[in-house]
C-alpha cells in the first residue's frame, strides 16, 4: 500500500492528529517570542536575582570567585585598552625607532601583564563555573524530588498539577543554564563597560562613536533572536506532530500493529502532509529572517561607517591623535564582540529563566499538597490493629460528577480476611486507598482502633499497612531488593526475602533467573532481565508479604497468575486468617469464598455485605456475578448443545 491509496486519502486529513497540548519544552520559547524585542529587559533583574540566589545556595565560595574574577577581567580589559593606546602613542611619536620602541616598553609590559592576568582570570572563572554548575544541579534537583515524593497522591489527579510537575522537571537544567547565562552575560556587560570607560579616558567624544557603532548592531541582534524564537514557535505544533509520527513509524511498540494493519502508507501520507506544510512555513519564515537580519546588518554598517567618518574628521582636524583613532578601532571591535555575547546570553537567560520560574512556582504550589506537619508528639501513635471502621466515607475525583466512593460504612475486625468485590469502576481500589491512608476522604472518617487515621502518626500507620497494588511498579533493582523494598525500614534479610517469595510462589521463578535473587530486573541495564507479567505479579505479592503488616491490602493480586501460582498465593492469604487482617480485592470470586466477610460495591455504594454463603443465598448482585463466573466452569456442552455433565 502506498500513500495515495483511497484509505489514506480519506483519512489523511489534518483532523486525524488532534491538536496537541502545549509542550512544556516550548514554554520558554513561547514566552520569549511574546515578550517582543525589548521586553526581555523587563524581567531581567528578577531572573538575574534568582540565578545569583540559587548559585549562592549551592556554593558561596565559587559564586564569589565567579563574580569577582569577572569584575577583575573587566578591569583588565580597561587596562588593556589604555595600555594599547599608550603603546600606540609612544610608537607614533617622533624620533628614531629604537627610542620609540624603548619608550613604548613600559606600556608593552603593562599590556602583556594585563593580558596574562585576564587570561588567568578567565581560567579561574572557567574552573569556578565548572565546579559551581554540578552543585547547582544537585541542589535544584534534590529540592524538586523532595517535593515530588512528599506531595499527597491526590496531587497526581489534578491535571494542572501533573502539567506543572512535568514543566518543573526541566527546572534543574534551567537552573544550571540560568547561572551560566547570567555569569556569561555579566562578563559581556563588564567587558562592554570596560571598553566604554577606556574610551572615555582616551577621549569622551569617542563614546558617542562607540554607541552609534554598537547600538544598531545590538538592536539587530536582539531582533534576530526574537525572529528565531518566533520562527521556532510558528512551526511548533507541526514539529510536535512530526515527532509523534516519527515515533509511530520508528518505534518497536508500534511496529507490530503498523505491519499487521498495513498502516505504512497511511502514516507516510500523514508525514508528507505535515512535513510539506512545515517546509513551506520554514521557507517563508527563513526569507523573513534573512531580510530582517540583512536590514539590521545594513543599518549597523551605516552606523559604523558614520563612526569612521567621525574619527576621520577628528583626525583631520587634529582633535585626536592617530593613536586614539587606532585605539577606537580596537575598542569598537572589542565592544561588538562583547555586545554579541550580551545579546545572545540575554535571549538564553530570558528563555531558561522561564523554566526556572516554572520550577520555583511548582515548589511553591506543591506546598498545598503536602501532608499537614506537626511536632511528632502531637500525633497519636497507632497501636496494633484491633478494629478498623469506615464511617460514611466518600471520595470524588477532580472533574468527575459521580463520587467514586459514596457514603460507605463498614467494620473490619483484626484477624479477619475480608473481600471487596464489584464490577469495574465500582470504587474498590479507591476505598482501599483511603483505608491505606494514601487518599483522604472528602467526607466521612476512617478509624484505626477508634482513632481517626488523620489524627494518627502517618509514618507509623503506613508501616503497619502493606499494599499490593493493582498497578504495581517494576522497580529496576535486583529480585531480592524488589522484595525487600516492602519493608525498607529494616535491614534486608535473605531468609525473610525467600520466605516472602515462597508465599507468593516466586521463589522458584527467581532461582531460575541467571543470578537468582541477585538478578537485576531491568532489561535496559547490562545483564538485566525482564519477567513475564505473571512473574512480576508474584514478585509484587512477595513484596507485600515481606512486611509483617497488621493490615495487608491486596488489589487484584492474581489477575496474571497461572492456576498453580494463584492457588499458592491464596493459600498464603488464608494462612493469615485469625491473626492478621487482610483486605482482598478480586474479580475471581472463587477466591473469596473463604473470606470472613464480603463487601459488594456498585457505583461507589456498598450494596451488600455478608459471608459467601449468605450472599449467594440472597438474590443480589454477588449471587448473580458468582453464578455467571461459576457457569464458565460447568462442563462443555456436547455437540447437540446440551451439557454433557
Ligand atoms: N485517579 C483517578 N482520577 C479520576 N477518576 C478516577 C481515578 N481513579 C479511578 N477513577 C474513577 O473512579 C471510579 C472508581 O475507580 P476504582 O479504581 O476505585 O474502581 P475499581 O472498583 O477498583 O475498578 P476495577 O475493578 O476496574 O479495578 C471509576 O469510575 C474510575 O473511572
Which pTM value belongs to this model? 0.72
Which protein residue has the closest C-alpha to ligand 1 atom 27?
424
Rounded to the nearest integer, the mean pLDDT of the chain is 84
Confidence of residue 619 (pLDDT cuts 50, 70, 90): confident
Measured in angstroms, how far is the CA atom of residue 431 from the centroid of ligand 1? 10
Per-residue pLDDT, 567: 93
Higher pLDDT, 338 or 617: 617
> Domains of the chain, with CATH numbers?
39-203+320-368 (no CATH), 383-464+549-633 (3.40.50.300), 474-548 (3.40.50.300)
Ligand 1: which residues within 6 Å by Cβ?
Answer: 157, 397, 400, 404, 422, 424-430, 470
Measured in angstroms, how far is the CA atom of residue 425 from the centroid of ligand 1? 5
Measured in angstroms, how far is the CA atom of residue 194 from the centroid of ligand 1? 65
Chain-centroid distance, C-alpha 252: 24
On the question of pLDDT at 292 being above 80, the answer is no
Which protein residue has the closest C-alpha to ligand 1 atom 22?
429
Strands (DSSP E) along 396-472, which ranges? 405-413, 417-422, 443-448, 451-452, 465-468
Helix/strand number for the chain, H first, E second: 21, 10
Per-residue pLDDT, 586: 94
**Cα(86)–Cα(503) distance, rounded to whole angstroms?**
88
**Cα(436)–Cα(464) distance, rounded to whole angstroms?**
9
Per-residue pLDDT, 607: 97
Which protein residue has the closest C-alpha to ligand 1 atom 29?
425
Q: Which three cell numbers stand for residue 604?
A: 461507589
Per-residue pLDDT, 641: 44
On the question of pLDDT at 435 being above 80, the answer is yes
| Range of lowest pLDDT (8-22, 313-327, 606-620) | 8-22
Q: Do 298 and 216 touch, CB atoms closer than 8 A? A: no
Best residue among 398, 430, 469, 557 to mutate for probing ligand 1, ranked by most atoms within 8 Å of CB: 430
Per-residue pLDDT, 8: 39
Ligand 1 atom nearest to CA at 470: 27
Convert the pLDDT of each residue in 104-118 to its tens digit: 888 889 889 999 999
Per-residue pLDDT, 137: 87
Q: Do 485 and 491 touch, CB atoms closer than 8 A? A: no
Mean pLDDT, range 176-192, rounded to an integer: 85
Q: CA-based Rg of the chain, rounded to a whole angstrom?
A: 36
**Interface ipTM:** 0.97
Measured in angstroms, how far is the CA atom of residue 395 from the centroid of ligand 1? 11
On the question of pLDDT at 3 being above 50, the answer is no
Per-residue pLDDT, 511: 96
Mean pLDDT, range 502-506, rounded to an integer: 95
Instruction: Please choose, from the candidates 601, 623, 158, 154, the residue with its C-alpha nearest in 3D space to the C-alpha of residue 390.
Output: 601
Residue percentage of the chain with pLDDT more than 90: 36
On the question of pLDDT at 18 being above 60, the answer is no
On the question of pLDDT at 439 being above 80, the answer is yes
Measured in angstroms, how far is the CA atom of residue 507 from the centroid of ligand 1? 32
On the question of pLDDT at 286 being above 50, the answer is yes
Measured in angstroms, how far is the CA atom of residue 603 from the centroid of ligand 1? 10
Per-residue pLDDT, 42: 80
Which protein residue has the closest C-alpha to ligand 1 atom 6?
397
Measured in angstroms, how far is the CA atom of residue 430 from the centroid of ligand 1? 6
Ligand 1 atom nearest to CA at 420: 21
**Cα(586)–Cα(592) distance, rounded to whole angstroms?**
8
Strongest mean pLDDT among 90-94, 336-340, 387-391: 387-391
On the question of pLDDT at 153 being above 60, the answer is yes
Chain-centroid distance, C-alpha 195: 42
Confidence of residue 14 (pLDDT cuts 50, 70, 90): very low
Higher pLDDT, 220 or 627: 627
Confidence of residue 176 (pLDDT cuts 50, 70, 90): confident
Amino acid at each position: 500500500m502506498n500513500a495515495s491509496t483511497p484509505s489514506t486519502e480519506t483519512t489523511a486529513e489534518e483532523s486525524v492528529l488532534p491538536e496537541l497540548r502545549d509542550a512544556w519544552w516550548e514554554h520558554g520559547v513561547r514566552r520569549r517570542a511574546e515578550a517582543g524585542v525589548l521586553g526581555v529587559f523587563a524581567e531581567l533583574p528578577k531572573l538575574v536575582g534568582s540565578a545569583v540566589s540559587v548559585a549562592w545556595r549551592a556554593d558561596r565560595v565559587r559564586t564569589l570567585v565567579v563574580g569577582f574574577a569577572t569584575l577583575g577581567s573587566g578591569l583588565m580589559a580597561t587596562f588593556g585598552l589604555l595600555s594599547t593606546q599608550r603603546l600606540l602613542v609612544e610608537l607614533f611619536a617622533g624620533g628614531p625607532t629604537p627610542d620609540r620602541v624603548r619608550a613604548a616598553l613600559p606600556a608593552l609590559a603593562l599590556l602583556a601583564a594585563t593580558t596574562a592576568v585576564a587570561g588567568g582570570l578567565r581560567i579561574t572563572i572557567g574552573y569556578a563555573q565548572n565546579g559551581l554548575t554540578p552543585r547547582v544541579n544537585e541542589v535544584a534537583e534534590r529540592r524538586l524530588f523532595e517535593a515530588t515524593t512528599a506531595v499527597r497522591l491526590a496531587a497526581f489527579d489534578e491535571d494542572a498539577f501533573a502539567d506543572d510537575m512535568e514543566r518543573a522537571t526541566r527546572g534543574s537544567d534551567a537552573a544550571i543554564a540560568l547561572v551560566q547565562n547570567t555569569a556569561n552575560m555579566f562578563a559581556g556587560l563588564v567587558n562592554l563597560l570596560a571598553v566604554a570607560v577606556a574610551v572615555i579616558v582616551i577621549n569622551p567624544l569617542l563614546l558617542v562613536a562607540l554607541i552609534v557603532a554598537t547600538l544598531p548592531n545590538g538592536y539587530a541582534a536582539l531582533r534576530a533572536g526574537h525572529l528565531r524564537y518566533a520562527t521556532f514557535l510558528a512551526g511548533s505544533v507541526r514539529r510536535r506532530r512530526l515527532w509523534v509520527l516519527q515515533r509511530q513509524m520508528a518505534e518497536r511498540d508500534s511496529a507490530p500493529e503498523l505491519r499487521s494493519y498495513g498502516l505504512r502508507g497511511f502514516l507516510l501520507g500523514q508525514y508528507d502532509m505535515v512535513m510539506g506544510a512545515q517546509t513551506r512555513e520554514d521557507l517563508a519564515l527563513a526569507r523573513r529572517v534573512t531580510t530582517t537580519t540583512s536590514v539590521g546588518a545594513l543599518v549597523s554598517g551605516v552606523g559604523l561607517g558614520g563612526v569612521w567618518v567621525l574619527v576621520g574628521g577628528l583626525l583631520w582636524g587634529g582633535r585626536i591623535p592617530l593613536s586614539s583613532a587606532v585605539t577606537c578601532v580596537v575598542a569598537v571591535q572589542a565592544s561588538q564582540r562583547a555586545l554579541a555575547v550580551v545579546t545572545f546570553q540575554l535571549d538564553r537567560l530570558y528563555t531558561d529563566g522561564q523554566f526556572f520560574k516554572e520550577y520555583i512556582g511548582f515548589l511553591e504550589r506543591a506546598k498545598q499538597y503536602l501532608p499537614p506537619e506537626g511536632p511528632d508528639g502531637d500525633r497519636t501513635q497507632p497501636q496494633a490493629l484491633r478494629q478498623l471502621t469506615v464511617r460514611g466515607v466518600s471520595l470524588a475525583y477532580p472533574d468527575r460528577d459521580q463520587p467514586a466512593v459514596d457514603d460507605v460504612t463498614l467494620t473490619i475486625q483484626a484477624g479477619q480476611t475480608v473481600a471487596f468485590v464489584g464490577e469495574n469502576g465500582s470504587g474498590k481500589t479507591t476505598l482501599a486507598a483511603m483505608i491505606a491512608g494514601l487518599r483522604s476522604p472528602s467526607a466521612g472518617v476512617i478509624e484505626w482502633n477508634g482513632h481517626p487515621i488523620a489524627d494518627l502518626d502517618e509514618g507509623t500507620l503506613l508501616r503497619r499497612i502493606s499494599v499490593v497494588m493493582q498497578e504495581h511498579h517494576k522497580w529496576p533493582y535486583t529480585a531480592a531488593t524488589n522484595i525487600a523494598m516492602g519493608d525498607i525500614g529494616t535491614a534486608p534479610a535473605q531468609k525473610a526475602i525467600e520466605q516472602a517469595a515462597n508465599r507468593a510462589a516466586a521463589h522458584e521463578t527467581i532461582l531460575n533467573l541467571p543470578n537468582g535473587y541477585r538478578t537485576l530486573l531491568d532489561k535496559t541495564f547490562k545483564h538485566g532481565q525482564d519477567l513475564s507479567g505473571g512473574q512480576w505479579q508474584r514478585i509484587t505479592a512477595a513484596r507485600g508479604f515481606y512486611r509483617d503488616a497488621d493490615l495487608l491490602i491486596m488489589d487484584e493480586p492474581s489477575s496474571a497468575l497461572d492456576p498453580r501460582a494463584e492457588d499458592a498465593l491464596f493459600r498464603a492469604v488464608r494462612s493469615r486468617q485469625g491473626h492478621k487482617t487482610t483486605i482482598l480485592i478480586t474479580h475471581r470470586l472463587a477466591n473469596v469464598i473463604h473470606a470472613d466477610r464480603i463487601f459488594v460495591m456498585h457505583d461507589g455504594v456498598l450494596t451488600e455485605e455478608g459471608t459467601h454463603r449468605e450472599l449467594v443465598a440472597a438474590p443480589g448482585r454477588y449471587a448473580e456475578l458468582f453464578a455467571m463466573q461459576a457457569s464458565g466452569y460447568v462442563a462443555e456442552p456436547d455437540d447437540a448443545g446440551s451439557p454433557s455433565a
